Each structure stands twice: as C-alpha cells, then as structure tokens.
Amino acid sequence: MAKRDFYEVLGVSRTASPDEIKSAYRRLARQYHPDVSKEAPKVAEEKFKEVSEAYEVLANEDSRRRYDQGGAAAVESQFGPGGFGWQNFTHAGDLEDLLGSSPFFQQFFGGMGGFGGRRGPAHGADIQLTLRLPLAAALTGAKPQVEVPRDEACAACRGTGAKDGTALEVCPECKGSGQVRRIQSRGYTQLITVAECSRCHGAGRRILEKCPVCGGSGHLRSTERIEIAVPPGVEDGAVLRVPGHGLKGGDAGASGDLYVQIVFEPLPHLRRDGEDAYTETTVPLGVALLGGEVTIPTIDGHAVLKIPAGTQPDTQFRLRGSGFPRFRSTTRGDLLVTAHVELPRNLSAHDREALRDLLLPGGRPLGGRRESIFRRRGT
C-alpha cells in the first residue's frame, strides 16, 4: 500500500520551515493521541504512528532531502524491513512536555526511554585512589602530585576504533539506535520491552576492521601527573573530589571525576582527635615535687611545658592553640599533654634513708633510733 505524502500527513507545504513542521506535528500528536482522541483507540493509534513517521523523516535535514528527491522509497532503508516502528523514533523530546504525564505515553512508549534513538554520550568512569601523607601535612596543607590513568583518543583511528581508511557500519540489528525493542500486543495496548542491542552492545555502529593500534577500543591508556590541593585541617580518611580527572567518556561524553582519600601516617609520640592533639611526657620526681620545666614534642617542633610544684602523676596539661587547624578556619585546636611522674631507681641506702625522713607520714620510728623529720619539726 502506497504511503501518503508526508507533507500532506502533517498538513504543511514542501517549503515549510523546521519550526512549522514541529508545530504541526505537536498539534496532530495531541489530536490523535489515544488518551484524548475521540476515535477508536486502534484508529487513533495508527494515525498517531503515521504522523510520527512523517515527522521522523521531515524533522531531519538529511532524511528530508532524500525524501524530497526520491520519495518514501528513498528513506525506507533507515527503518528496516518491517518499516517504521517506535524503535526508530528519535524525537521523544519534542513530545515530553506535551504528553509526558499521559498514562499512554508512560506505559505504551515508556516516556523518553520508550522511544528509539541512540543513547546519549556515555559519562566516563570515576577513579578512586588513596594518598598517604605525613601527619604534619594536616597542619600546613600540602600539594602532592599523583599519577592517574588516562584514556586518550587513539590518533591512528581518531577515536573510532576502525582501521584507518575503513568505515563504521550501521548495526543491521538495531538500525543504529543501540537498542532492541520487542512488542507484544494485548488488545488495544502493547507491551514494549527495551534492551541493549547485543550485536553492537548499544553503540549503534559496528567496526568492520579494528584499528591495529588500539585493537578497536578507540583509545589508548596513558598516565597523567595531577597536583592535589590538600587544605590544612583535613581529617584523616577525608575524600577530595577533583572534577573531570577521571576516565574519558565515550562518544565525546564528559570525563569522570577523581576521588582521592587522604590517609595520614601516624606519629609515634602524638595522636590526633579532630582538631586536638594528644601526647605524653615523663616528669622527673624532683621536678614534679619542686616545679620546673620539661621539653615536649609537638606537631611542628618542640615546646616548653611548665610543671608546677606538687604535680601529681598522670596530670593532664593543655597547651591552647598548639593542636591542628580547624578546617576552613584560621584557629587551631589544643595540645593535651599527660605527665607521668618518673620515680628514681637504684637508690643508695643513704638516699633511701633521706627519703624516709622526708616522705613517710605519721612519724613512724625508723629502726628505734630516730623519729621522722616531720615529728622533729613539731608537725
């Protein structure tokens, strides 16, 4: 059966502009859509399909030119042996705002995804890596360089994957859509299932002869050195995102992102807890009793800690502003120091006797020869 003239189907002249063709199609799509048409559902469905086929041909500059030159026979090859089907319709976006909420549009065509057309450019994969830094980098920040894999377009085939001088073939299975649809009729409705074309793996094109340089992949793996800006105050285990430095996308799609997890190497003398730092020091007994100073290690060097007289074992001191920077702030946390009192070892008999006199409370007799110095002093 001969097809009606596509311009007549849409009710436009042969000199109609693309906007006039689009406007006519949207008007007819609304008129014949089975959800709103007053005609029998099957009749409305056939008319809706007819105006969609006409629009598919006339909305594309190349297919419209071929149609003007050779009629319907000149464009039959783009639809395949079975003729036009919804898997060949690539202008779903022109209907989405008009019919997107329609039950028929969502169920019968599956919304935007229910129509054919090649898939959009594939987004590149993300890259994840771990970066180990000295703990001092959490104080000052750092700008280390890392090597990340890159996918560069193969120069020999210009990224097509086909041997130089050969062409890509439109996939005969999906007719270039990258998808295969199976339709099951159920009365006035049809069930459409969509799957990636197994023959071209969704590309819509097939390589007849693979490029000998890249093996048909269209890209070559290389490495790139990238500087990572690690700001002061970053927590251990934090993940930094570097946009656009993942693997390249397919068909000119956007590159993925690089995700860098920061792991700080611990220091043997210092522990971090958020913005605060913790350390320990040993205080000689004499300094703990009489007071004095000890030198302690810090994040960025050493500091002098004043020990008051009579300091008890395991007393904790706080050095304000000597901890780690607060993230995105100019202030710092604190350094908390636990002081362990060091007891003397290997005392001589004389030293032990002197300490007995000085330290033992209660005036206990020492060998029956003398009393504690505390008693002698009238205490």
Give the pair of three-digit tokens for residue 69.
């030159």
Q: What are phi and psi of 139, to 5 degrees?
A: -85, -45
Closest CA to 257 of 269, 249, 265, 268: 249
- Give the C-alpha distances (Å, rounded to integers) separating 76 from 45, 169, 175, 248: 21, 17, 12, 36
The pLDDT score that the predictor gives to residue 313 is 93
Q: Which residues pair with 168 in a beta bridge?
A: 207
The pLDDT score that the predictor gives to residue 278 is 95
The pLDDT score that the predictor gives to residue 318 is 95
Q: How far apart are CA 125 and CA 255, in angstroms?
A: 7
Strands (E), 212-300: 219-227, 239-242, 258-265, 271-273, 276-284, 292-298
Q: Return the number of other C-beta atoms located less than 10 Å from residue 26's C-beta.
A: 17
* Residue 125: exposure state from Cβ atoms within 10 A (0-12, 13-18, ≥19): middle
Under 8 Å between Cβ of 171 and 200 = yes
For residue 271, the number of C-alpha atoms closer than 13 Å in the C-beta half-sphere is 7
Closest CA to 27 of 48, 43, 6: 48
The pLDDT score that the predictor gives to residue 113 is 40
Q: How far apart are CA 239 and CA 303, in angstroms?
A: 32
The pLDDT score that the predictor gives to residue 253 is 63
3-state secondary structure of 262: strand
Residue type, 36: V
- Give the C-alpha distances (Å, rounded to integers) separating 378 from 132, 355, 357, 364, 372: 65, 18, 14, 14, 10
For residue 180, the number of C-alpha atoms closer than 13 Å in the C-beta half-sphere is 12
Q: How far apart are CA 370 and CA 139, in angstroms?
A: 59
The pLDDT score that the predictor gives to residue 348 is 86
Under 8 Å between Cβ of 182 and 193 = yes
- Give the C-alpha distances (Å, rounded to integers) separating 17 from 13, 58, 59: 9, 10, 10
Strands 301-307 and 315-319: unpaired
**Alpha helices by DSSP H, 300-369:** 349-359
Residue type, 26: R
Which domains does the chain possess? 6-114 (1.10.287.110), 271-342 (2.60.260.20)
How many degrees, rounded to 5, is the angle at CA 191 between CA 177 and CA 97?
65
Under 8 Å between Cβ of 270 and 279 = yes
The pLDDT score that the predictor gives to residue 279 is 93
Strands (E), 285-349: 292-298, 301-307, 315-319, 335-342
Output the 3-class SS for 10-72.
HCCCCCCCHHHHHHHHHHHHHHHCCCCCCCCHHHHHHHHHHHHHHHHHHCCHHHHHHHHHHCH
What pLDDT tens digit does each residue of the chain (379 aa) get? Answer: 567 899 998 999 999 998 899 888 888 888 887 666 667 777 777 888 888 888 888 988 888 888 888 888 777 777 655 677 666 667 665 665 555 444 444 444 444 344 444 444 556 778 888 999 998 888 888 999 998 887 777 888 877 788 887 767 778 878 777 777 776 665 555 556 677 787 776 777 777 788 888 887 777 878 889 899 999 988 888 888 888 888 776 555 677 888 999 999 988 889 999 899 999 999 998 899 999 999 998 888 889 999 999 999 999 999 999 999 988 788 999 999 999 999 888 888 888 888 787 777 654 544 444 444 334 444 4
* Torsion, CA 127, CA 129, CA 135, CA 140, rounded to 10: -20
